[in-house]
Structure 1
Amino acid sequence: MPDRAAPLVLYVEDDRIHLILMEEVFRLLPGWALRCAETGTEALAALAECQPALVLVDMNLPDMTGLALRERVVADAGLAASLQGTRWVALSADDPGAVVRAARAAGFDDYWLKPIDVPRLQTALQRLLG
């Protein structure tokens, strides 16, 4: 169970290899807690239960896009209010071009290409939440 005092990061990703990698990365990052969801639907349920400091969202989920997930959160006034101040980062292996612009327009704070660069992840966590 995550340490309640540690900032919580929700990682929304359907690829098991990426999930395992991120879980291992967070085992090495003291002071951070990680929760994972494999679909947009699971992410919405998790977001209703907890208020993560950061949401990392794969842009290509099996049941909705990362943009659609963000739009659903914004459209739900109660959920959006409970998540005010939560940072959002879009993740994708796709060519960033138009996807970055769309993610920023939807309210994402940043866009990271996969595979995740672990040292960059640590620096970015500090920058976003430190």
Structure 2
Amino acid sequence: MPKKLILIIDDDNRNIFALKAVLKAKGFECVSALSAREGFSIMEENENVAIVLMDMMMPDMDGYQAISVMKKSAKMQDIPVLAVTAQAMVGDKERCLSAGASGYISKPINVDELLIQIENFTT
């Protein structure tokens, strides 16, 4: 059985680089996209995406809009989305979850917390 893939969607290469380094060290396979649209293409073409780590603040299409698009797509609607955001204000977590995210993690990312959430949604 192919390994489950983690798709990282973030408009900042440094965030992608850091997340990939951490996750690969823990034995996960990762793919990445610099925009939501690029991420959609990856999900359309790849059956093995187990979870999406979605940056919520991106130009063009933000994470809230992207989750909304995913939830309307037969191919993408069941893929859990972990909202990754630098916004850690009161109400942000609730806003992400009510938009359809399965979980929420704020930047700077607590790696242990991230791994717990990934395990929760991919097993």
| TM-score normalised to structure 1 length | 0.84
How many angstroms apart in 1 are the aligned matches of 2:59 and 2:99?
19
Q: Name the aligned partner's letter for residue 102 of structure 1.
A: R
What 5-or-longer segments of structure 1 have no aligned partner? none
Runs of 4+ in 1 over 4 A off after TM superposition: none
Q: Is the 8 A contact 1:10 1:56 kept in 2?
A: yes
Q: Does residue 125 in structure 1 map to residue 109 in structure 2?
A: no
Q: Does residue 67 in structure 1 map to residue 64 in structure 2?
A: yes
How many angstroms apart in 2 are the aligned matches of 1:47 and 1:27?
20
- RMSD value, Cα: 1.6
Aligned to 1:102: 95
**Percent same amino acid among aligned pairs?**
24
Aligned to 1:22: 19
Q: Is the 8 A contact 1:56 1:88 kept in 2?
A: yes
Match of 2:51 among 51, 54, 61: 54
Size of the aligned set, in residue pairs, is 122
Q: Is the 8 A contact 1:11 1:55 kept in 2?
A: yes
Q: Is the 8 A contact 1:89 1:108 kept in 2?
A: yes
How many angstroms apart in 1 are the aligned matches of 2:58 and 2:77?
23
What 5-or-longer segments of structure 2 have no aligned partner? none
Q: Name the aligned partner's letter for residue 105 of structure 2.
A: W
